[in-house]
Amino acid sequence: MIIGALAFALGALGGCSALRVGYGQAPQLVHWWLDGYLDFDDNQAVRVRESIRAWFRWHRSTQLADYAVLLARMQAEMAEPVSPAQVCRLWDEVLARASGAADAAIPPLVDLARTASPDQLAHMQRRQAKRNADYRSEFLQESAEERTKASLKRILDRAELLYGRLDDAQRERVAQWLADSPFDPQAWLAERQRRQQDVVLALRRLSTEAVPAAEAHALLRRLYDQTWHSPREAYRAYQQRLQQYNCAFAAQVHNQATPEQRRRATARLKGWEDDLRVLANGG
């Protein structure tokens, strides 16, 4: 659900002030996440830490005010019913902003990739295998009933983060809509594993060959783009079907919300907007 996913991404830390605190802690969390995959040596750790700090300085000074403008516009739109097309346009705008952030991260990632050792790539593959096992546990339960129950809980949690508690009738409608979802967790896992292999192959190439800078940047950029637009035609068609469904689903959830739930959602977006403006101004 696209609106729920946006809400989760912005508000997983809870209240408004927590977003500011979380953003301040984000450089260390990103370093920790990357280190979990590559197990940095001392020299890499120093360089990566500074690269992450530099990226966040750029992000804070150039991107957050624009995010705040997007949230302000969302508040106006959420006062009224929305269409699936509106939700898809919003998602496209979110992806466009993420694309710009990815572009800024690619040069330091290329530098890091060039220093990756065979042992670190093997460590990455073990980490990928562990994360895939976690994914199976979360999304590929043994029975279809268990999968549906877990999926419904995830969706309700994210919707309620934005709108507040849904009543029983609303929850029942969400469950009915969920039954039509084209989401295929097995296909998603298979695609994920292919992307993981592509990442390892790309890092192996960058760490063993004298790849020109422009080509290296294009290689990592292509890996990022393939997250949203698979090079495999059948899966790309599946991604498009799923996005159209998600846009319609998010619109349905919003349009069934009560006036009070919409007011709550608007207030939460306003809180995030205010937080982003404070952060953009150095707060």
CB neighbours of residue 125 within 10 Å? 15
180 and 168 in contact (C-beta within 8 Å)? no
For residue 17, the model assigns a pLDDT of 60
- Compute the average pLDDT of residues 56-75: 95
Nearest to 157 by CA among 141, 171, 146: 171
Q: How far is CA 205 from CA 110, 129, 202, 216, 250, in A?
A: 11, 21, 5, 9, 41
pLDDT at 3 over 50: no
Nearest to 118 by CA among 49, 205, 51, 50: 205
Q: Using one digit for the tens of pLDDT, what is the confidence trace for 151-204?
A: 999 999 999 999 999 999 999 999 999 999 999 999 999 999 999 999 999 999
- DSSP state letters, the chain: -HHHHHHHHHHTT-SHHHHHHHHHHHHHHHHHHHHHHH---HHHHHHHHHHHHHHHHHHHHHTHHHHHHHHHHHHHHHTS---HHHHHHHHHHHHHHHHHHHHHHHHHHHHHHHT--HHHHHHHHHHHHHHHHHHHHHH--SSHHHHHHHHHHHHHHHHHHHH----HHHHHHHHHHHTT----HHHHHHHHHHHHHHHHHHHHHHHHS---HHHHHHHHHHHHHHHHS-SSHHHHHHHHHHHHHHHHHHHHHHHTS-HHHHHHHHHHHHHHHHHHHHHHTT-
- Compute the average pLDDT of residues 51-65: 96
For the chain, give the mean pLDDT.
92
For residue 4, the model assigns a pLDDT of 43
Cα distance between residue 31 and residue 269, in whole Å: 28
CB neighbours of residue 133 within 10 Å? 10
- Compute the average pLDDT of residues 233-243: 96
Q: Using one digit for the tens of pLDDT, what is the confidence trace for 101-157?
A: 999 999 999 999 999 999 999 999 999 999 999 999 999 998 989 999 999 999 999
Q: Domain segments of the chain: what residues?
A: 2-280
Cα distance between residue 226 and residue 214, in whole Å: 18
Residue with the larger pLDDT of the pair 281 and 14: 281
Q: Using one digit for the tens of pLDDT, what is the confidence trace for 5-38?
A: 444 344 433 444 677 888 889 999 999 999 999 9
